[in-house]
Chain A
């Protein structure tokens, strides 16, 4: 071989060390790229639906004169890292314009990581309160008038609590979440029967009715039947209160099932709930809260609070409930200092 040709050939080849380095680098990069592609849908959903900015309106003048302004978290609670989240569950969106839905379920959740205690306070959706947007009405209308900010401000001004974050889930969201985690195990205390249950999910007529019969006893529920269980209230003497109890049962069942999930389940879960969940909790805090939630395994440390009579009684305008603030506020402040 002529000297010039040999030199050109040498420039077109790499040493073994360089070759090995390149191969290792290529394997590493492509493995990470494969993982990135796998978790991309989850990351996109997480970025889109977490950390949603919320503007909490200042309390309405009427409310301010009646109730004390929202207190700041007490130093002792803050030192323990305690926080309060408002869970909002909405009726079928198709009956309403976007983000102007009623919140059929409102649950205040107080989490104390230091003691691993959780308190869930169900707020009756028919409670007649001063709305942060002005005037009075059922508390489930607050969200429809001013989105999550109005719902938070209403709860803060009326109950005298500080809400750190909110999580909103649509009807389809709950169904999809439960289906995505493979269903939940529940012990239904009695048959839940309803001849006039709204047929507004997967239906062309959101104002139609269907019959529901969720039979009693231990059972594995899929999303649609779990939704029927938590949503039906016609055949419950305790009406919305009974429904609140069932909602808390299902929340705990979801938590129990979520503890069994693996990180690889996250993309499918994110795809399922896409568009059906919004939260002000940032992605970084979600990442910290997931292992925290899994460590809460003492059922005795989960307190369930319902505002049953005499905390609220029927007879207010439009079938709403009149709150007895003299009883409610001390109870609330006991659990939500």
Chain B
């Protein structure tokens, strides 16, 4: 028998604990899909994560990170940094620092220190009243001899023009020289967004040109041009809607994404002979693939894709065997059974069944992060 007073006190305590627990429990049952991405430095990959060779540079929430030996290092603060690219000698990084009204290209050390500013796209103070007097620079890349900076650029701008058509063209300029000494290499299609993501290749550049197809749909195409002002030629069809080209280390293949004008994006590979592409081969069709980058040692392709349905983008890796499986061992040639004369057809040994190529699946390298899928990966061997 328990006294009523003690029971009342006990029940009050139980009710308080149960009510709070119920509230807290429901709160803890919120789905992970609404949770904001973690910082890469807070969430290193799992211990068993696949180890990628070299160092990958990528962007998240306006900061640049390096990823090496399974660990992330934050190189810059979260102040608009994106689109890292390596110097051909691997000693410096190019990157874009983006603000609300303009973006500029910088040279950074491999540890994130600002070494040099290569463009000045902010409107002059006397023109600051006109938002259209600012300019964007995106997707910087250096030529192999490091004497030409390629980038997408929407200048020069005319103050007070109130011009609504903002199209990026691929420009070439000597690093550090004023933009007026540079040249537009491409002529963008009006009201498309223009030409993006130049990739220097021997003899010219491959870039993504946005255009309207015959049905009035806006779509992307890979183009190649070998000289400034030349129209160049399309490498892919408007139907395939391909973009984000990446040249393989041996220079013989191009990785890209193709969307076929739908809300999908396939990892696609094609051979490249210096002037034209071979047949498109779809390697991944069940993920929203972005920004493929070849491993410098040729061991595979890294790319960004959501970690789950409608989720932020994670780092993934497709091993080489998935798109370039090893040749099967030679099938032995049937030979007559030894043992002298034989009537009838010669028995032939049953050839061994051809080995079934193992299905090589992509490997998810990171979890719970949220990389900028419009920012290419830079991979240092």
Contact = CB atoms under 8 A, between A and B. Distances in A.
A13 B11 contact: no
B241 A189 contact: yes
Interface stretch (B160-168, B171-179, B272-280): B160-168
A34 B23 contact: yes
Contacts of B190: 237
A23 interface: yes
A19 interface: yes
Contact of A31 (B19, B103, B164, B265): B19
Given A219-B290, A256-B310, A264 B27 contact: yes
A27 B210 CA distance: 63
B30 A252 contact: no
Interface residues of A, number: 67
Contacts of A33: 15, 19, 22
Contacts of A32: 22
A183 B14 contact: no
Given A12-B3, A23-B11, A195-B163, A211 B34 contact: no
Given A196-B132, A216-B210, A249 B263 contact: yes
Contact of A190 (B100, B101, B132, B220): B220
Interface string B169-200: 00000000000000000000011111010000
B134 to A, nearest CB: 6
Nearest to B191: A237
A210 B131 contact: yes
B369 to A, nearest CB: 11
A268 interface: yes
Given A13-B2, A38-B22, A211-B102, A187 B265 contact: yes
A81 B173 CA distance: 63
B244 interface: yes
Given A13-B2, A191-B168, A235-B166, A215 B26 contact: no
A186 interface: yes
Nearest to B36: A182
B208 interface: yes
A35 interface: yes
Given A15-B1, A260-B309, A211 B134 contact: yes
Contacts of A264: 26-31
Contact of A217 (B7, B27, B373): B373
Interface stretch (B111-119, B211-219, B226-234): B211-219
Interface in A191-233: 191-196, 209-211, 213, 215-220
B100 A189 contact: no
Contact of B208 (A29, A216, A235, A259): A216
Nearest to A249: B263
A236 to B, nearest CB: 6
Interface string A140-154: 000000000000000
Given A14-B2, A30-B15, A219-B373, A235 B27 contact: no
A218 B257 contact: yes
Contact of A181 (B4, B22, B34, B165): B34
A161 to B, nearest CB: 26
A14 B34 contact: no
A139 to B, nearest CB: 23
B79 to A, nearest CB: 17
Given A12-B4, A210-B100, A216-B243, A261 B34 contact: yes
Interface in A9-59: 10, 12-16, 19, 22-23, 26-27, 29-35, 37-39
Contacts of A189: 210, 217-220, 241, 259, 261
Contacts of A180: 34
B373 A194 contact: no
Interface string A307-329: 01000000000000000000000
A234 interface: yes
Interface string B5-42: 10100110011111111110111111101111000000
B365 interface: no
Interface string B81-121: 00000000000000000001111000000000000000000
A185 interface: yes
A62 to B, nearest CB: 34
Interface in B256-284: 257, 259, 261-265
Contacts of B300: none
Contacts of A12: 3-5
B133 to A, nearest CB: 9
Contact of A26 (B15, B162, B167, B372): B15
B16 to A, nearest CB: 7
A27 B168 CA distance: 65
A265 interface: yes
**Quick one: which of B10, B192, B218, B259 has the most chain A CB within 10 A?**
B218
In order of increasing CB-CB distance, the 4 nearest A-B pairs are A34-B22, A191-B193, A193-B166, A30-B15
Interface of A: 10, 12-16, 19, 22-23, 26-27, 29-35, 37-39, 180-187, 189-196, 209-211, 213, 215-220, 234-238, 242, 249, 252-253, 256-257, 259-265, 268, 308
29 contacts: A23-B10, A26-B15, A27-B15, A30-B14, A35-B22, A182-B312, A191-B210, A193-B154, A193-B168, A196-B132, A213-B103, A216-B210, A217-B291, A217-B373, A218-B289, A219-B313, A220-B370, A235-B164, A235-B167, A235-B191, A237-B190, A238-B216, A249-B263, A252-B263, A256-B310, A257-B309, A260-B31, A262-B31, A265-B34
Interface of B: 1-5, 7, 10-11, 14-23, 25-31, 33-36, 100-103, 131-132, 134, 136, 138, 154, 162-168, 190-194, 196, 208, 210, 212, 216-220, 241, 243-244, 257, 259, 261-265, 288-291, 305-306, 308-313, 370, 372-374
Given A14-B4, A31-B19, 14 more contacts: A26-B18, A33-B19, A35-B22, A182-B34, A187-B263, A192-B193, A195-B134, A216-B374, A220-B311, A220-B312, A235-B167, A260-B310, A263-B29, A265-B34
